Amino acid sequence: MAMFQPRDPAYDSRVRGSFARQSMMKLLGASLDRVAPGEVDIRLPFRAELTQQHGFLHAGVTTSIADSACGYAALTLMPPGAAVLTVEFKVNLMAPAAGEAFVARGRVVRAGRTLIATSGDVFAVDGGRETHVLTMLGTVMTVKNRSGLSD
């Protein structure tokens, strides 16, 4: 895994502040578990309201926490005042999402000036055992002081 140097010394508080303003993550009940340069983990406890018809966590929910983990991992490496937007992602669903909690681990693969390649994995946690349920490859864009966006 590559070692990254953040361009903003206040990256941790910036990521946490942005996450706290994200209504979607609040709605899902997700929380930030870990923030490091190029790395973010998001945790989500199981809730029956977030399942699909077979009782598994819905793929839209697992994809959402993976996307946010990847985006915030990218934000840790962006300059002060920049905002983060996902440009594209591809998801592979590896196993049914069944567990007491879910952890999304977003990682930066390569950080360019404008585009940042990311990878994300979601694991179902049940009795301390992790099952890999989703993997994502994504591209995130650095948006600098346009359209009033800021993170």
Task: Give the span between the Cα atoms of 151 and 141, in whole angstroms.
Answer: 13
> How would residue 92 be classed by pLDDT, with cut points 50, 70 and 90?
very high
- 3 inside domain: no
Please, are residues 40 and 15 in contact by the beta-carbon 8 Å criterion? yes
Work out the angle between the directed axes of helices 11-20 and 59-75 (0-180°, nearest 10): 150
pLDDT at 147: 55
pTM: 0.94
Q: Rounded to 5 degrees, what are φ and ψ at 94?
A: -95, -30
- 2 inside domain: no
- 115 inside domain: yes
Count how many domains the chain has.
1
The CATH number given to whatever domain includes residue 94 is 3.10.129.10
- 1 inside domain: no
Provide the domain limits for residue 22. 11-144
Task: Give the span between the Cα atoms of 55 and 50, in whole angstroms.
Answer: 9
For 51-71, the pLDDT digits (tens) are: 999 999 999 999 999 999 999
pLDDT at position 111 over 90: yes
Q: To the nearest 10°, report the CA torsion of 20, 24, 26, 29.
A: -130
